[in-house]
Amino acid sequence: MSPKPTAPADVAIITVSYNSSAQLADFLASAIKSVASPSQITVVDNNSADIDITQKLTTRLGVNLLKLDKNVGYGGAVNKAVPGLEPQLTTLLVCNPDSELNIAAVHRLSEAVKDPKVGVAGPRIFNEDGSVYPSARNIPSIRNGVGHGLFANIWPSNPWTKNYLSQAHSQESTVTTGWVSGACLAIRREIFEYVGGFDDHYFMYFEDVDLGYRLGLLGFENIYIPEVFVIHTGGESTRPLKQNMVKIHHQSAAYFVDKKYKKTAWTVIRLPIKLGLIFRWKLYSCMTRIKLPKR
């Protein structure tokens, strides 16, 4: 029988709150059990209306709170937290506040990213209903991106979506993938700082895709570890702003296209893709079946 993993003392858990106080209590309860000290946990608040509740909670639990005077988005908020971390916290675990952690997952992820070949590592993510969220995916290409964007909601089994989502989620052991979801990912602090953290031009969505893509270009492996898991209820703070979040998702996709295909030779391809993204977002106004993406 394997020994119970110890709570790591070198992991910084960072979560971003935007009117998320209702989810934070459960998240922090699970996070505190997963590390050696509550002081390893930082909540970054994006100028929320419920900041007083969050502050009382973090003070009571001994968790760090970083209050921002404006909403800088998900990746931007994580970036703000890293410089103030204690030097002994050499691994970053970035998680959504509507997640439930456990010591096995935190320990395994932190050990995985100690491998110098590894960029980021992510666990299996279960939705509340027990289904598996496809948190490990291939880097989107033009072909798969267009096919997935056009058909994912009306033809879920289309070949482009299948290729984009990858076969990682059918595996039972660690596998290399293009990127893992920012809902829960681990990365060595030195690598995160070396690449400049998340690109904060992404207000929300695609900052995790972009990070995985940049790390891959540098020769790092991004890995999916299905042997451990977290539970994600998903998108609680963004549900009241669903239509605006879908717009932001499409804007982030367009920015990623600009970054990945920035050479002049790709100009003739970039323009129709970006126009297609605008059309797809506009279509949301009269189609309720387009699902709000999770982190």
Distance between CA atoms of residues 59 and 65, nearest Å: 8
User: Could you tell me which of 250, 263, 261 has the C-alpha nearest to residue 292?
Assistant: 250
249 and 236 share a domain?
no
Domain range holding 276? 242-286
Q: Is the residue at 106 inside a domain?
A: yes
> Quick check: is 40 in a domain?
yes
If asked whether residues 159 and 253 sit together in one domain, one would say no
Q: Which of 39-48, 61-70, 140-149 has the lowest mean pLDDT?
A: 140-149
Q: Are 213 and 173 in contact (CB under 8 A)?
A: no
Which DSSP category does 195 fall into? T
Q: What is the 3-state secondary structure (H, E, C) of 202-231?
A: CCCCCHHHHHHHHHHHCCCEEEEEEEEEEE
Residue 38 falls inside a structural domain: yes
Write down the mean pLDDT value for the chain: 86
Q: Phi-psi region for residue 292, left (φ > 0), alpha (ψ -120 to 50) or beta? A: beta
- Residues 271 and 187 both lie in one domain: no
Are 166 and 259 contained in the same domain? no
User: Is residue 3 assigned to a domain?
Assistant: no
Whether 42 and 109 map to the same domain: the answer is: yes
Whether residue 65 is found in the same domain as residue 210: yes
Enter the DSSP assignment of 233: -
DSSP 3: P
Residue 106 shares a structural domain with residue 247: no
Same domain, 52 and 167: yes
Tell me: do 115 and 231 sit in the same domain. Answer: yes
Number of other CB atoms surrounding residue 65 within 10 Å: 17
Res. 33: pLDDT tops 50: yes
Number of domains in the chain: 2
Residue 181 and residue 80 in one domain: yes
For 80, the enclosing helix (H) or strand (E) is helix 74-81
Tell me the residue type at 23: Q
What DSSP letter does each residue of 111-177 carry, written as one string?
HHTTSTTEEEEEEEEEETTSPEE--EEPPPPHHHHHHHHHHTTT-TT-HHHHHHH-SGGG-SS-EEE
Interval 209-261: pLDDT, tens: 999 999 999 999 999 999 999 999 865 444 444 667 777 887 888 888 888 88
**pLDDT at residue 237, rounded to an integer:** 42
Q: Is residue 119 in some structural domain? A: yes
For residue 163, pLDDT beyond 80 = no
Contacts of 221 (CB under 8 A, 6+ apart): 117, 118, 119, 176
For residues 222 and 178, the answer to whether their CB atoms sit within 8 Å is yes
Statement: residue 16 has pLDDT above 50: yes
